[in-house]
Copies of this chain bind each other. A is one copy, B any other.
C-alpha cells in the first residue's frame, strides 16, 4: 500500500525520535538527564485539579465548538494584563497550541503556499505545514548573534508571490531569543507592506528574564487585522498534558472562518477546559516565582556553557531553551553517543539535535537545543556531564 507523499516526506520529531536511545540507556542502568523536551517540572497550580471535581453532570457532553464561554472570558481578561483587548468573539479554544497553529496555517495558506519562519524554529511548524502542503522557508539566524533577526532588506528578499504568513515564536523556541521592539516593528511593517499574516506563537510570554519588557505582536494596533495570537496553558501553567490552547485575533472574519474548522472537530475536551479556567485565574505572583526559578536555571546552564571550550551561544533571554553550537562533527551523532557509549559516574544526558529545526539544508548539524527544565542541582550535574562528554567524544572538532 502506498502512503501519501506528504506523510512519508515528514520527518520524525527530532525532539522525540531519540527517546528509544534514552530508554535503552536507562535500562542499562544509566541516569539520563532529559534536556531534549520542554516538559517543565514546575507544579501545575492545584486549582486545576480541584476544578476537575467541580464537574457534577452525569453526562460528559460536547462543549461548544468555539470553547467554554467562561474560559474564553478568562483568557480575554488575561490578555488585558498585556494591554490586549480581545472580545469574546475574537477567541477560539483549541487542542493545545498545536491545533491553533495547524488551523491558522490552513486558514491563511492554500496548498503550495509558503510561510516564512526565523530558523532554527520549533520543529513542529514544519510538520503541521507539510501535512497540509504548505512549505516553510527559514530566515536563518545565528548562535553568534543570539538568534536575532537579520536586516529588513535580507528578510524582504525571502518573500515570494506565494508567501502568505510569517510565524514568529517570541520568546523563541528553540533559541531563547526575546525580540526587541524594533525587530517586532520591522516585522509588522514588512507584513503590512507585503500583505502577510503574522502567526504570533507567544506561549512562552511569561518566560522573559533580566527584567526585559515583553512586547506582544498583539500590541501593534496597525497590524491587528493580520496578527493571530497562538497561546497555550502548557508552559505558562506547567500543564502540558491539558492540551488547551487558543487563537486570538481582532480579525473577526478570520475567527469565523477558523470556527468552521473548530466545528469540524466538534469541541475541545469539556473537563480540561474547566480546569483551564482556574489556571487563567492564577495570581501573577505565581509567574514571579516561576520566573525567578527559571532565571537561576538559565544562569547555571549558560554559565556552564560559557566555560566549555568551543561551545558557542549568547545568553538566552526567554523561554526555557538555549540553542548551542557544539565543537562536534555532528550533534545527533554526539547525542546518540552520549546515550549509547558515554557516562560520567553512571550519568548521561539527552538533548535535541537542532538540524531538524532548520528548513535550509546543511546548517545546524553541529547544534543542539537544551531545555533547562530540571532543578538547579540536577542542571548543574547535567552540565558537568556535558562538559565531560565533549572532552571524551571521539568526533570532537
Contacts and interface: CB of A to CB of B under 8 A. Distances in A.
This chain: how many copies in the complex? 2
B107 A3 contact: yes
B96 A265 contact: yes
Interface string A40-83: 11111000110011010011111101000000000000000000
A135 to B, nearest CB: 12
Nearest to A258: B7
Interface in A111-143: 111, 113, 124, 127-128, 131-133
Contacts of A363: none
Interface residues of A, number: 81
Q: Name the residue among A242, A253, A254 with the largest chain B CB count within 10 angstroms.
A: A242
B257 A7 contact: yes
A10 B58 contact: no
A253 B8 CA distance: 10
A378 to B, nearest CB: 15
B59 A40 contact: yes
B240 A110 contact: no
A268 to B, nearest CB: 7
Contacts of A113: 4
A325 to B, nearest CB: 26
Main secondary structure of the interface of A (DSSP, over half): loop
A281 interface: no
A271 B263 CA distance: 23
Contact of A61 (B2, B48, B102, B241): B241
A271 B1 CA distance: 35
28 contacts: A1-B226, A3-B254, A6-B110, A7-B107, A7-B257, A10-B264, A12-B263, A17-B263, A39-B61, A39-B62, A42-B59, A60-B241, A61-B241, A95-B95, A96-B265, A106-B132, A111-B133, A124-B263, A124-B266, A128-B264, A131-B261, A131-B264, A132-B132, A132-B133, A241-B271, A243-B267, A269-B269, A271-B272
Interface of A: 1-8, 10-13, 15-17, 37, 39-44, 48-49, 52-53, 55, 58-63, 65, 95-96, 98-99, 102, 106-111, 113, 124, 127-128, 131-133, 164, 195, 197, 225-226, 238-243, 251, 253-254, 257-261, 263-272
